[in-house]
Structure 1
Amino acid sequence: MTSPQPARPAGIIAQQIRETAPEEKDSAYPQFLPDLCGVSAVAVLVMMGELLAVVLVLAVDGLREFSWQRLGLFSLTAQWVILPAAALLCRLRPRLARLPRWRAGATSFAVVLAVLATVMLVQQWWQARLSGEPLDLWALAGNLLLGAICAGVVLRYAYVQQQLRNQQRAELGARIEALQSRMRPHFLFNSLNSLASLIAVDPDRAERLVEELSALFRASLAEPRMVTLAQELALARRYMEIEALRLGPRLRLEWQVDESLADTPVPSMLLQPLLENAVLHGVARLRGGGCIRVEVTRHGRQLALSIENPLAGGEEPTARGGNGMALENTRQRLAAHYPQGFRLDAAADGDRYRVEVALPLSPGQGQAAGGVPA
């Protein structure tokens, strides 16, 4: 629902920020191998095992005398090796990430060889029992050598793929950190300007503003990550309460938020720079102030965010050069978080300026408690 909300007393803001601000966490160890527990990973492994079985049958019998019986035997053997080895490596994945690379590689290879040797030994023993002949150790050694070569190739491929994914993730994190760090000095300078304007006029209010700013910076300086929409809105509301300490009744707010979207993940510090522009280039330039409207809804499979503020004389903020940095940084951060696509539009409509952001929703996100799509 839509309702104008005056700023709340500032005495409890700092404590609420301490309760809701995300804590910085130690970065996890870079993984040595991909996650082999997922459905897609298991499907790929099964497919690789079947292709390997086909290659072995073609190498032994050729295409003219292709043996489906031999293909079934090779396929069964390959899957009995691949699936248990993948399950063991999946369980060992957190420990492998903490080991040096050479030790993690040796451990992974040893696990696969142990499974391979067990399967091959059982298979050779069963064949020898059925045929009544002694165990063929040379055949067993040859099969183990062939399996070890294939296992080494597959493990090397998996390792290279995971290291490439680790590198891409690190580059993406560094890019997001750089984009967010650009906004921090901008936010700091504007906040200090607000504080300076209050010191001579209202020292008590300036003192409260210092307390609220310290708590707000704690949240803004946290590690860049995805947070829930509820956390992002809480941070945005507290920033607006700080601005209300400076502007007083000149700043009016209207929030229209679909509460069923509260758990939707969004990038941290998404709304604050957009709201900062709405205050600095809208309400603060008008003698009588104005109303800032924030709307959060769901449109189909997208999360729709819009921020609307009044304009002074109908002049667009971008024409004064003050709005471009925040919008461009926000656009680049969204491009890093949502490579599959997003939308960010900003334009003046008469005496109002409107910024619209559309983010993709994953299936199942935004489901209301009563079953109504948010």
Structure 2
Amino acid sequence: MSRWQKTFESNERLFWTFHSMGWAGFALIYYIGSFLHDVRPIWVFIILLNAYAGWLVTIPLRYIFRRARNLSPLKMLGVVLLACYVTALIWAVIKNINYWEIYKHGYRPDAWYMYFTNTINSMIMIGCWSGLYFGIKNFQMLQKEKQNALKASTMAHQAHIKMLRYQLNPHFLFNTLNAISTLILLKENETAEAMVSRLSNFLRYSLDNDPIKRVPLSQEVKALRLYLEIEKVRFDDRLEVEWDIEPSCEDALVPSMILQPLIENAIKHAISKMEQGGRIAISARIFGNDLLLDVADNGPGADIKDGQLSREKGVGLVNIRERLQSLYHRNFAFSVEHNQPTGVRVRLRIPSELKECKL
């Protein structure tokens, strides 16, 4: 973090920086404006002395204004005006002393309005200082409110994505536990034990990976293989899986658990309906700047209207679409088509983003 960033993030540093720069700027502008009046070192000394006095007398205003902000608008206005007037009066007296006693060596004008004019000028300067103070404070408050609103929106967005992700698991978990229970009743303890181990590894992967983050496709495929091994215990020879993952895709980043609901959907509506020969084909390839993912089955098919399955009553495909929308906005494609010769094919297109390699 740079020094300037630290300054702007600290109210204390920000105040002293702007406070000092403001009065330094006042001295510079005053000197340039009166350059033709006098260029002697004594005049420069008076200008610096007046600027330093202004720097000192306006410091208490910060603490007065800070307390005044907690008052009602009318009381706050009264306190601010009174504090500004008293501060301007004190500064005007100091300036008069500096000017007439030091610069003019004791000469004082007979006209009283010369002193009054100096007080008016001081009021204008103190008013500008106060205006800048409240302006910066209000700007900081607005920025903080925007940051809080953005943080709240981001947290809600992440919670929404997590909700969508975690809605996808209950059906699978219920079916798997039923299958394990059946294996135990049939005394197939070794198979049940292997199934419990695979389920444990799969659930660990599912819960450990943040649905907000993306994971390498190779990691996602590893989890899918665990899932499909569990399902193969249920369906035995009725389920065959074909993998066609291009090596160039293995480091591509994908939303965690984005394909599992598609496979679960294919098993539920295709493989479970078939007595034999059920097949699921999973493919991935790079095309230009996009990653193309396909999940197809050879089941009895379904009615597809406007890219949607008419049989879809759950949250699976809807949640996937919403997750992709949340993560990629409009830079994705999600379509449901008829597979040839039979079945359903789901296609996904997302930006091809590669995992960063550690050197």
What TM-score range do you get, normalising by the shorter chain? 0.5 to 0.7
Which shifted more, 273-282 or 125-134? 125-134
Q: Distance in 2 between matches of 1:368 and 1:265?
A: 10
Match of 1:352 among 343, 356, 359: 343
Instruction: Judge conservation of contact 1:85–1:112 (CA < 8 Å) in 2.
Output: no
Q: Which has the higher contact order (CA 8 A, sep 6+)?
A: 1
Change (3 A) 1:319 1:157: closer
Asked if 1 retains the 8 angstrom alpha-carbon contact of 2:216 and 2:250, the reply is yes
Q: Which residue of 2 aligns with 1:338?
A: 328
Instruction: Give how far 1:263 is off.
Output: 4.0
Aligned to 2:153, which of 168, 172, 192?
168
Deviation at residue 122 of structure 1 after TM alignment? 4.3
Is 1:109 aligned to 2:11, yes or no? yes
Tell whether the 8 Å contact from 2:270 to 2:297 is kept in structure 1 after alignment.
yes
Query: Does 1:305 find its partner at 2:293?
Result: yes
1:24-49 per-residue CA deviation (whole Å, 9 max, x = no partner) reads xxxxxxxxxxxxx7xxxxxxxxxxxx
Normalising by structure 2, what TM-score?
0.64
Q: What residue in structure 2 maps to residue 78 of structure 1? A: none
Question: Contact 2:338/2:345 (CA < 8 Å) preserved in 1?
Answer: yes
SS in 1 for 2:21: helix
Distance 1:319 1:112 in 2: 58
Match of 1:226 in 2: 213
Deviation at 1:281, TM superposition (A): 2.3
8 Å contact from structure 1 (residues 345, 355) kept in 2: yes
Where does structure 1 lack aligned partners over 5 or more consecutive residues?
1-36, 38-82, 93-107, 370-374
Could you tell me which of 223, 238, 254 is aligned with 1:235?
A: 223
CA contact (8 A) 2:216 2:252 kept: yes
Q: Report what 1:193 is aligned to.
A: 178
User: Residues 41-73 of structure 1: CA distance to partner in whole angstroms, max 9, x if unpaired?
Assistant: xxxxxxxxxxxxxxxxxxxxxxxxxxxxxxxxx
Q: Helix, strand or coil for the counterpart of 2:47?
A: coil
Corresponding residue for residue 284 of structure 2: 296
In 1, Cα distance between equivalents of 2:145 and 2:18: 22
Which letter does structure 2 place at the counterpart of 1:116?
Answer: F
- How far the C-alpha of 1:324 sits from its partner, in A, is 4.5
1:241 shift after superposition: 2.0
Shift of 1:311: 0.8
Q: CA offsets, 1:251-276, max 9 Å, x none?
A: 32222223434444332221111111
- Which whole-Å CA distance do the structure 2 matches of 1:325 and 1:216 have between them? 21
Determine the structure 2 residue equivalent to 1:88.
7
Unaligned runs of 5+ in 2: 36-43, 59-125
CA distance in 1, matches of 2:302, 2:173: 26
Provide the residue aligned with 2:245 in structure 1.
Answer: 257
Query: Is the contact made by 1:252 and 1:292 (CA closer than 8 Å) also made in structure 2?
Result: yes
Call closer, same or farther: CA 1:88–1:262 in 2, change over 3 Å: farther
CA distance, structure 1, for counterparts of residue 249 and residue 24 of structure 2:
55
Deviates most, 134-143 or 267-276: 134-143
Q: Who is 1:211 aligned against? A: 197
**Residue 169 of structure 1: CA displacement?**
0.9
CA deviation profile, 1:332-357 (whole Å, cap 9, x unmatched): 22222222342211122331310111
Deviations 1:297-337 (A, max 9, x none): 2333332211011113x445987846753111212222222
Secondary structure (helix, strand or coil) at the match of 1:356 reads strand
Distance 1:178 1:368 in 2: 28
Give the aligned partner of residue 178 of structure 1.
Answer: 163
Write the mapping of 1:137-176 to structure 2, written as runs, cut at 5 A: 137=51, 141=58, 142=126, 144-176=129-161
1-side partners of 2:135 and 2:188: how far apart? 75
Evaluate the alpha carbon distance shift between residue 175 and residue 139 of structure 1 in structure 2; reply closer, same or farther with a 3 A threshold: same
Question: Is residue 38 of structure 2 the alignment partner of residue 120 of structure 1?
Answer: no
Assess if the C-alpha contact under 8 Å between 1:220 and 1:269 holds in 2. Answer: yes
Q: Which of 1 and 2 has greater Rg?
A: 2
User: After the TM superposition, which residues 46-65 of structure 1 pair with which residues of structure 2 at under 5 Å, given as runs?
Assistant: none
What TM-score does the superposition give when structure 1 sets the normalisation length? 0.61
Aligned to 2:103: none
Mapped partners of 1:265, 1:146: distance in 2: 51
The CA distance in 1 between the partners of 2:309 and 2:181, in whole Å, is 27
Give the aligned partner of residue 134 of structure 1. 47
CA–CA distance in 1 between the matches of 2:134 and 2:201?
Answer: 57
C-alpha distance in 1, partners of 2:296/2:7? 54
> What is residue 267 of structure 1 aligned with on the other side?
255
Give the 3-state SS of the residue equivalent to 1:183 in structure 2. Answer: coil
- After superposition, the Cα gap between the structure-2 partners of 1:241 and 1:158, relative to the gap in structure 1 and judged at 3 Å, is same
- Give % identity: 26
Q: Secondary structure at the match of 1:221?
A: helix
Distance (Å, rounded) in 2 between the aligned partners of 1:117 and 1:296 = 61
**Does structure 2 retain, via aligned residues, the 8 Å contact 1:109–1:155?**
no
CA contact (8 A) 2:161 2:211 kept: yes
Q: Paired residue for 1:72?
A: none
